[in-house]
Amino acid sequence: MTAIGEPPLHAHLLRTCGTPVERDVFSLPAELPPGCNPLREDSGSEADFHGAPAGLRILFVSLSNDLGSERIIGGMAGCGVECAVMSPPNYFCASTRSAKRHFPIPDHYGVWLGALFVRRRLEDAVRNWQPRLILPLDDISAWLLRGLAVDRRVSPAVRGILVESLGAPEGYAAAVSRQRFMDLAANLGVYKPAHCEAVSIGMALLAAESWGFPLVVKGEHTCGGRGVVIVRGAAELVAKLTPVSTAWQQRLKFSAKKALFQFAGFGAGPMSGTMIQSFVMGTPAFRTLAAWKGRVIEGVSFAAEQMHPTPTGASTVVRHIENDEMNRTAAKMTAALGCSGFVSFDFMLDQETGRAALIEMNPRSITSTHLGALFGRDVCGAFTAELLGNRPPAPRPAKTEAAIALFPKELERDPDSKYLKSPDVIHDVPNDDPLLVAAHLRRLRAAFPRKNH
């Protein structure tokens, strides 16, 4: 019996770009080693950065502590961008050495109370640090930032940066709503599963009769497989759509939550709702890209080899693919939405037709966005060049055809995963960011305190 964080288990598992780890990252010191500067919390003093040299600065905002969402910060910092992060202090993104500035918001019970502090902190950050762009790290912050971009309570300076960062306001509602996004895709003639809003159980049953089971039921404002359920019969569909309670306490709670939403600034898209989609049997795939004013700057596509939890969870092992239909669909949707910044589109590669069926959008970067350079598609580098007015890096042949085990997701899915033991699989560990690695490993040790090997 050995703890998950102890050698010898991981001596042969952890690999970065095919290179074995040179030291035991599972026994990292509590303090940063020489040369690694800890994040310095914002003092709130305007004098700190007022009049500082204006480099390319990007502020990343996090309201949900999603595994791996912080990796885009390292990708952009590696291109010479000066990065900062706004999040609660205990989030993974607050541990990365790639963010040179931290604008903390209070820890909170769920994301909603913490969201109340974002508007004021954005005003502070723009005044004191002067970022060029403000970008979300998760779906909740993507929703909030799009609402604040058109909120008249927000200063013109902050609204201007948000609109430049996120793209055309006319596209915000569809970008953050599964229902409206699929409505737009249908209007554009994109290949996709059938869908409808589950406004009533009767309507949902009619759709099920027409499409057949299984069906996919999706709630608004959920990600990583949360809020997505595959139902295989009428009774299961009815149970899923039947409200748990209509008591006055529940109605009061919803009213209070709605008022909190509105005060915080969640103005883009519907507050709630449920959509059903016909089921597409096939392989999950996605295209993640950087865009500017509706134009795709660069993108990279992957197919999922492992997911957690199955069958609707986040990817944990991915393999690079090239798919022209995914490229065309992503470009068409990006243009229609007027996107700027990082966005991603999810597909199912239909096992019967071979076609790429669009199933939803992530209005933000994802865990794999920074990996494009490994496959000749340097998403971060191309986006940086666009912002600086430089020539983008030319597409190059892929450096590798290996599958990539995403850290720490595949380790969480299965500590004994064959992918982690294979010399032919890259384990994408940020070895140059030891405090970030240590933060993830502390979480894994708590989840798997003892393990037979």
Residue range 180-207, pLDDT digits in tens: 999 999 999 999 999 998 888 898 999 9
Q: In whole angstroms, how far apart are CA 436 and each of 25, 38, 138, 409?
A: 10, 11, 18, 14
392 CB neighbour count, 10 Å cutoff: 15
Q: Please answer whether residues 129 and 142 qualify as being in contact, where contact means their C-beta atoms are separated by less than 8 angstroms.
A: no
Q: Would you state the pLDDT for residue 128? A: 95
Could you identify the residue written with the tokens 């949360």?
226
Domain 194-276 in CATH 3.30.1490.20: yes
pLDDT confidence of 428, banded at 50, 70, 90? Answer: very high
Given a contact cutoff of 8 angstroms between Cβ atoms, the answer to whether 191 and 174 are in contact is: no
Least confident of 137-141, 277-281, 369-373, 393-397: 393-397
**38 or 338, greater pLDDT:** 338
Amino acid identity for residue 179 in this structure? Q
pLDDT the model gives residue 42 = 44
Neighbours of 319 (CB within 10 A): 17
Q: What share of the chain is helix, strand, coil (3-state, %, to 5)?
A: 35, 25, 40
What angle do helix axes 118-129 and 156-166 make, rounded to 10 degrees?
90
CATH number of 32-166: 3.40.50.20
How is the chain split into domains, by residue range? 32-166, 194-276, 281-447
Whole-model pTM: value is: 0.86
pLDDT in tens, 44-91: 333 333 333 357 999 999 999 999 999 999 999 999 999 999 999 999
- Taken in order 414, 419, 422, 426, the sign of the CA dihedral is negative
Phi, psi of 151 (to 5 degrees): -90, 120
Q: Concatenated DSSP letters for 231-295?
A: E-SHHHHHHHHS-S---HHHHHHHHHHHHHHHHHT--SS-S--EEEEE---EEEEEEEEEEETTE
Q: What is the DSSP string of 378-399?
A: -HHHHHHHHHHTPPPPPP---S
Class of domain 281-447: alpha beta
- Beta strand 195-197 with 82-87: parallel, antiparallel or unpaired? unpaired
Nearest CA among 242, 17, 280, 267 for reference residue 149 = 267
Share of the chain above pLDDT 90, in %: 67
Per-residue model confidence (pLDDT) at position 216? 94
Mean pLDDT of 421-435: 95
